[in-house]
Amino acid sequence: NAGVTQTPKFQVLKTGQSMTLQCAQDMNHEYMSWYRQDPGMGLRLIHYSVGAGITDQGEVPNGYNVSRSTTEDFPLRLLSAAPSQTSVYFCASRKSGTQNTGELFFGEGSRLTVL
């Protein structure tokens, strides 16, 4: 199993450009989420999904869109990038239902720089 795979690992954007961070998991996890990590602020939840077709906002959703058309994929879209979105982004998933141990499985992160 590959686990949680994020692409790209590094990206530089100009202000106003759009891009999509891809996330895929092969563990049949129903729950998937996106976090951003900034110095001194820990990890903050952007959006999450409890299953295909269902998404919800986290702590810092502004400027980001998500969709969940399949169980495996959960892309994060930046429609008009801003310097404040410079960060490291993590996708994470976990089991649901009776197999839910609460533990999140993380991707390796994507470092995004917006100039």
CB of 77 to other proteins, least distance (A): 21
The least distance separating other proteins from the CB of residue 45, rounded to whole angstroms, comes to 6
Q: How many residues bind other proteins (CB under 8 A)?
A: 23
Residue 62 or 101: which CB sits closer to other proteins? 101
Given 19, 27, 50, 52, the residue binding other proteins (CB under 8 A): 50
SS (H, E, C) 32-100: EEEEEEECCCEEEEEEEEEECCEEEECCCCCCEEECCCCCCECCEEECCCCHHHCEEEEEEEECCHHHC
- Binders of other proteins in range 15-44 (CB under 8 A): 31, 33, 35, 40-44
